[in-house]
Amino acid sequence: MTRLIYALLLCGSLAWGQTQIDLRTQSKSVDFSSAATTKTAKTGPALPATCSQGEIFFNTAATPGANLYACTAANTWTAQGGIVTPNYSKPFTSATTLSISGAEHVLNTSNLVVTCYDASTPARTIEPDSITVDPTTYNVIVTFAQPQSGRCVINGNSISGSAAAGASGAQFISQLLDMAASLNATSTTLTIGAGCSTATPCNVRFGNAVYALTSPATAALGSGATGTAFIYMGSDGSVNVGSNMNVVCSGCNAINGVVSYPVNTIPLYTWTATNGIWTSTGIDKRALLSTKILGVSTGLSIVDTGSQTTVGIDTAVVPTYVSASGSLNFGTINNGACSTEVTFSAPRAVVGDGVAPGWPASLPAGVLGRMRIVSNGTAGVQLCNFSGAAVSVSANFQLTVVRSF
């Protein structure tokens, strides 16, 4: 009897001493729905340097909604689902260095395009001193030669497919998410730039001026509207819908009488409508990278002033006036006779230019003359003597050619 009691006490002490169990082998049909907490992933502000396939990790420093990572191969973390954004924008104030971690932008690639803008309105691009992208963490470091304020926008996502529901033409690469167009359920309203916001602006450049669209525009058709709409960005950064139809715009301008894209605009889409319904597809006119190269020949100049490029005369090469002078000796000119034509150099003067002569003060009374451009760069002077006696002339002669452009 004593031995039995002892054995029972020993078993009881062993049972009470067990504080941990192996859920993998010692449980069945586990239901955690009533548990106070159910954290099943390791947590921290940075991804561990090492992992084995199948582990999961909750990154507390990542953008909400994009925190969960899985170890898909040894020491390789891959974001699971989360938020897919066309770009990421981060503001800065009086900064010489801006750091954006891969966990912040969540673009999951080192093939990033980084563009920075100042805080002016409209925003203008800033040229960083350097941009560094870590090929492993995707961390971005931007440095400036002097303190700057504004924002940097990072593009990097690449998802194949159409540019937007209902728009054909451009591929759905990151920059072309800007100004994407889509239709509502009844195809009566067209939304342009649904993804444009303060955090992810849609930027358009005219010359050296950059305009940021921070909210979408909508174009609603009036009853029975039929025709073609030309959707474009104006040189003032506005979204415009030009057509001969009844269109009501919000966040854009509805312009009547437009039958093609106006000059000095950026085309976005051509879209047709029948009886108040937008057709299911539009013609996508957007371009990833685009410019128009202006070439100038000798004597012309190009000046960029905001959104406008002006071509003009380069007065350093082709001035609006030409001056020249030369010391000429005509020898003796008999009364009633004219001298031979004597020449001097007149650089940049051309045949046909009008000449304003500068006669010397020592020219004798009764001596008249003519001055002309005899060949490109050469002026000629001839004197005639009506003074009543022979004269000798040796003096400095001047000319001015005046042009009007």
What are the tokens at 162? Answer: 């159409």
Q: Element (H or E) spanning 97, and its range?
A: strand 87-100
Interval 20-36 mean pLDDT = 68
User: How many Å from the N-terminal Cα to the C-terminal Cα in the chain?
Assistant: 127
- Split at pLDDT 50, 70, 90, the class of 85 is low
Residue 93 has pLDDT above 90, yes or no: yes
Q: In this predicted structure, what is the pLDDT of residue 167?
A: 45
- Which one has a higher pLDDT value, 238 or 177? 238
- Which one has a higher pLDDT value, 110 or 378? 378
Q: In this predicted structure, what is the pLDDT of residue 369?
A: 95
Domain ranges of the chain: 43-83, 87-155, 158-284, 321-402
- Split at pLDDT 50, 70, 90, the class of 329 is very high
CB 89 within 8 A of CB 106: no
Interval 354-374 mean pLDDT = 94
Average pLDDT, the chain: 82
Q: In this predicted structure, what is the pLDDT of residue 3?
A: 57
Residue in 151, 285, 150, 266 with CA at minimum distance from that of residue 206: 266
d(CA 385, CA 398): 20
Alpha helices (H) along 220-372 = none
Among 121-130, 141-150, 345-354, the least confident range = 121-130
* pLDDT tens digits for range 173-201: 434 567 888 888 899 999 998 878 888 88
CATH architecture of 321-402: Distorted Sandwich (2.70)
Q: In this predicted structure, what is the pLDDT of residue 174?
A: 39
Q: In this predicted structure, what is the pLDDT of residue 295?
A: 76
Amino acid at 249: C
Residue 227 has pLDDT above 90, yes or no: yes
Interval 298-306 mean pLDDT = 77
Instruction: Indicate the DSSP class of residue 28.
Output: S
Interval 134-148 mean pLDDT = 89
Residue 164 has pLDDT above 90, yes or no: no
User: Dihedral of the CA atoms 254, 260, 262, 266 (nearest 10)?
Assistant: 80
d(CA 156, CA 138): 11
